[in-house]
Amino acid sequence: MKEADKLTTKTLLRWKADYDTAGPIYERAGTAYKNAQNYLGAKNAFKKAAECLKQADLSFLAAKNYESAAMMAKEMSQTDESVSLIEESAKHFRLTGNPDKAAEVLIKAARWIESSDVEKALSLAKTSLEVYEIDDKEQFSGNAYKYATGLCIRNKRIDDALQMYNKQAAIHSKLNHDSDVFKAYLSIMIIHLSRDDYAAAEKAFQDFVGTHGFTNSQEGRGAMELMDAYEKRDNEGLKKCVNKQIFTFLDNDVAKLAKKLTASGAPSSSSKEDDQGLA
C-alpha cells in the first residue's frame, strides 16, 4: 500500500501520478488483505486500485476491482456500499464492450440483497435485462430472466412476472427457439391461473394457439389439458396434468405455482346458467 501511495503522490520529482503502475500494486495489496480476511483493508485497496485503473483508462481492470471491492463490502454486511460498487463495476464493464459481464454482476448484487431489499433487487434485475436489450445481447439473457421472474413470483409481483415472460417469448421467437417460446406461453397461463384469473388464462391460450407449432407441442398439449381441467373443475385431472414431465421443465418457481393450482372454483368466464346451477 505504501509503495502504491508513493506512486500516486505528486512530488518535486514526480509531477504526475503513475496510475498505470500503482493500480496493479493496490490490487496485489487487496488480494493480500483478502487472504488475511482483513476485509476492510481489502475493500479500500481494491477501491484504490479501481480508481487508479480508471484514471489510466483501463476500464475492464477497473471494473474487476470495483467488483472485488463490492464483494469485500458484502462480507462486512455493508449492503448499500456493496451495491453502489457493483453498479460502478457494471458501468465500466459496459464501457469496455462487455455488457454480458455487466448484466451478470448486477444479478449477483440482486441476489445479495433480495432478502433485505426486494425493491432494489428487482431494480437491479430489471437494469440487467435492459443492458442485454440495449446492447443487443438478449440471446445471453436466459439466466437473468430466470432469476428476475423467480424474484417477481416469490414476492407476488405478478404483473412484472407476466411482462417478463411475454418479453422472453418475443426474444425466443426472434431467435427461432420454439420450445422456449412455448415454455414461456405455458408459464404465462400458469401465472394467470395462480391468481384465479381464468379469463386472462383463456384469452392468453386463444392468442397462443395461433402460433405455428404450439398446439402440437408438448407445452401446447399441456396447456390444453390444463384449460380442460379448469373447464370441468376437475382437480384430479389437474393434478395429473401438472405432474407431467413438461411442467417440471418450466422454471422452478412456475413449476411450484403449477403444483398449487386448484380447479374447484367456477371459471370466471363460465355462463350465468352454470353459476345458477352451482347456486
Could you report the per-residue pLDDT of 84-130, keeping only the tens digit for each?
Answer: 999 999 999 999 999 999 999 999 999 999 999 999 999 999 999 99
Average pLDDT over residues 56-75: 97
pLDDT of amino acid 11: 66
Q: What is the percent of the chain with per-residue pLDDT over 70, rounded to a whole number?
A: 92
Give the pLDDT band of residue 279 (cuts 50, 70, 90). very low
**Which of 10 and 106 is assigned the larger pLDDT?**
106
Contact criterion met (CB below 8 Å) for 192 and 201: yes
Half-sphere exposure of 17 (CA within 13 A, CB side): 15
Longest dimension (CA), the chain: 96
pLDDT of amino acid 207: 95
pLDDT of amino acid 97: 92
Could you report the per-residue pLDDT of 170-228, keeping only the tens digit for each?
Answer: 999 999 999 999 999 999 999 999 999 999 999 999 999 999 999 999 999 999 999 99
pLDDT of amino acid 272: 39
pLDDT over threshold 50, residue 274: no
Give the pLDDT band of residue 21 (cuts 50, 70, 90). very high
Could you report the per-residue pLDDT of 255-271, keeping only the tens digit for each?
Answer: 999 999 998 654 544 44
Which residues lie below 8 Å from residue 105, measured CB to CB, with a gap of 6+? 67, 70, 86, 89, 90, 93
Query: Considering only CA atoms, which of 169, 200, 167 is closest in space to residue 184?
Result: 169
Contact criterion met (CB below 8 Å) for 69 and 50: yes
Contact criterion met (CB below 8 Å) for 251 and 148: no
Half-sphere exposure of 66 (CA within 13 A, CB side): 28
pLDDT over threshold 60, residue 249: yes
The 3-state DSSP class for residue 116 equals coil
The model's pTM: 0.85
pLDDT of amino acid 278: 39
Distance, in Å, from the CA atom of 94 to the CA atom of 90, rounded to the nearest integer, reads: 6
Among left, alpha and beta (phi > 0; psi -120 to 50; other), residue 244 is beta
Give the pLDDT band of residue 17 (cuts 50, 70, 90). confident
- Return the DSSP state at 139: G
**Which of 220 and 277 is assigned the larger pLDDT?**
220
Distance, in Å, from the CA atom of 27 to the CA atom of 43, rounded to the nearest integer, reads: 10
Distance, in Å, from the CA atom of 103 to the CA atom of 86, rounded to the nearest integer, reads: 10
Cell of 275: 353459476
pLDDT of amino acid 168: 96
Instruction: Tell me what the pLDDT averaged over the chain comes to.
Output: 92
Distance, in Å, from the CA atom of 191 to the CA atom of 239, rounded to the nearest integer, reads: 16
pLDDT of amino acid 16: 82
Distance, in Å, from the CA atom of 94 to the CA atom of 264, rounded to the nearest integer, reads: 51
Domain layout of the chain by residue ranges: 1-76, 194-279
Q: What is the percent of the chain with per-residue pLDDT over 90, rounded to a whole number?
A: 89
pLDDT of amino acid 277: 38
The pair phi, psi for residue 261, each rounded to 5°, is -65, 145
The one-letter amino acid at 256 = K
pLDDT over threshold 90, residue 40: yes
